[in-house]
Amino acid sequence: MLPLGGGVALALFHSRPTPSPSTCKAAFEHDTTGTVLSSLIIAGLLLSYAPQYIRIIRHKNSEGFSPLFLLLGATSSASSLGNIVTLQWGQVACCQYLTKGQCAESVLGIAQVFTQWFCFSLIFILYLVYYPLSSKYVRSVPIASSALPRRKPFLTSLVPDFMRTTTPSNLIRPSRSSASLTSDVSSADDETDDERAFNPSTFLLPGQLRRGEIILSSEYRQAVSLFLLTVLHFLLTFLTTFILLLTLPKAETPHQGTPSPWDPVPGNGGGREHPSERAVRVWATTLGLVSVALGCAQYAPQLVHTARRRLVGSLSIPMMMLQTPGSFVFVYTLAIRPGVNFTGWATYFVTGVLQGTLLVLCLVFRRRQKREGVDDWGEPLPGREGEQRDQGRGGERERLLR
């Protein structure tokens, strides 16, 4: 296999961004073990995410996920995808000189990371589609305008309309002026009993609750905002990657007797690095480091969210049981790919360890739920609901006898 140290692997493929048949065929090396493992990893990813999809769709409930966990996971996967696409762009460019089988084998690393990104992003979409209706909508109650907090115009202009959670202006009941309140107080002694009766024009009637407008909750709006941020991150990442790859120099045929600027430097062991190649290398390293940082922080919100709820929710334990050991196999298959350094696989190593921690936490809470007779969402189990009601009545009877 090609060495992974430093920028040697990148220089081998990017020193001539327009590859030739000889260099591509010389760089290609068939690896049966790596190909089989990568193919199994792709199939395993699709199968491992299937229990999570089925669980959300079957129960029509995505409660239990932390939107910050989904944001960090989706952006981390997108950064890792941009990293490996940039590092292995030479293999993509060489596909025109290789057979279909050789081309498919050489880009299996990209296919692995793409499958991981696609499967995780699909969870984010299902999370929004099957967001619990009880938490998705709230009723906007008409209130007096004097009860609303004052907002500064500058801060108000910075908040998009769909993120505002205050009562719509058409449902705000005009407040009574201080002068009218003063006159009411001064004339209170002169009012008769009929005049002191309940005045529906100045008080909130119970019927107004039924006429309140149904609006999206602040939690759901936050989840939508985080999803839009994920889409924006993906577009900016690959737009920048595409622009940088377009700036790579074309291979030129120098005049006879004139040394090419891309000729290997004696004693250096490789070609000279073009400034645009350096920019591509720095961008790939930056994406890898960002992916590692986001991956390290990805499971922190989910661990805190699950620990506070003490419920498994919509998290799929079979998915985590499949993915936790598979993460380390995934790391190995990426590490043996040409042109991939530690920034390409470190994310999946860290997330594998943290996912294992979340799996242990869910197994502990699942055992606790069975002991207390509740399901993964905290609702009493069908067989235990009557027992809990009888136990509650018995306890109440004992307290009365005492």
pLDDT at position 135? 87
Tokens 């995505």 belong to residue? 62
Instruction: Determine the Cα–Cα distance for residues 247 and 113; give it in Å rounded to an integer.
Output: 24
pTM of the model: 0.68
| Nearby residues of 65 by Cβ (< 8 Å), 6 or more positions away | 123, 127, 302, 305, 313, 314, 315
Angle between helices 342-372 and 67-87 (to 10 degrees): 160
Q: Which of 8, 117, 82 is nearest to 285 (CA)?
A: 82
Class of residue 347 by CB neighbours under 10 A (exposed 0-12, middle 13-18, buried 19+)? buried
Beta strands 213-216; 137-140: pairing state: antiparallel
Q: Is the pLDDT of residue 17 over 80?
A: no
- pLDDT one-digit tens code per residue, 24-81: 777 777 778 878 888 888 998 899 999 999 999 999 999 999 999 999 999 999 999 9
pLDDT at position 332? 82
Top-ranked range on mean pLDDT: pick from 160-169, 186-195, 359-368? 359-368
- pLDDT one-digit tens code per residue, 340-363: 777 668 777 888 888 899 999 999
Question: From the CA atom positions of the chain, what is the Rg in Å?
Answer: 31
Q: Is the pLDDT of residue 261 over 80?
A: no
Instruction: Determine the Cα–Cα distance for residues 319 and 235; give it in Å rounded to an integer.
Output: 28
Q: Is the pLDDT of residue 157 over 50?
A: yes
Top-ranked range on mean pLDDT: pick from 135-139, 244-248, 333-337, 357-361? 357-361
Q: Is the pLDDT of residue 227 over 60?
A: yes
Q: Is 273 helix (H, G, I), strand (E, B) or coil?
A: coil
> Angle CA(31)–CA(3)–CA(348) in degrees, nearest 5?
75
Q: Which of 209, 51, 59, 71 is nearest to 132 (CA)?
A: 59
Top-ranked range on mean pLDDT: pick from 55-59, 176-180, 182-186? 55-59
- pLDDT one-digit tens code per residue, 283-298: 998 998 898 889 889 8
140: number of Cβ within 10 Å = 17
Q: Is 233 helix (H, G, I), strand (E, B) or coil?
A: helix
pLDDT at position 9? 34
**Higher-pLDDT residue of 14, 384:** 384
Please give the structure tokens belonging to residue 178.
């201080």
- Average pLDDT in the chain: 75
- Contact 85/241 with Cβ under 8 angstroms? yes
Q: Is the pLDDT of residue 180 over 50?
A: no
pLDDT at position 7? 33
Please give the structure tokens belonging to residue 347.
């994310």
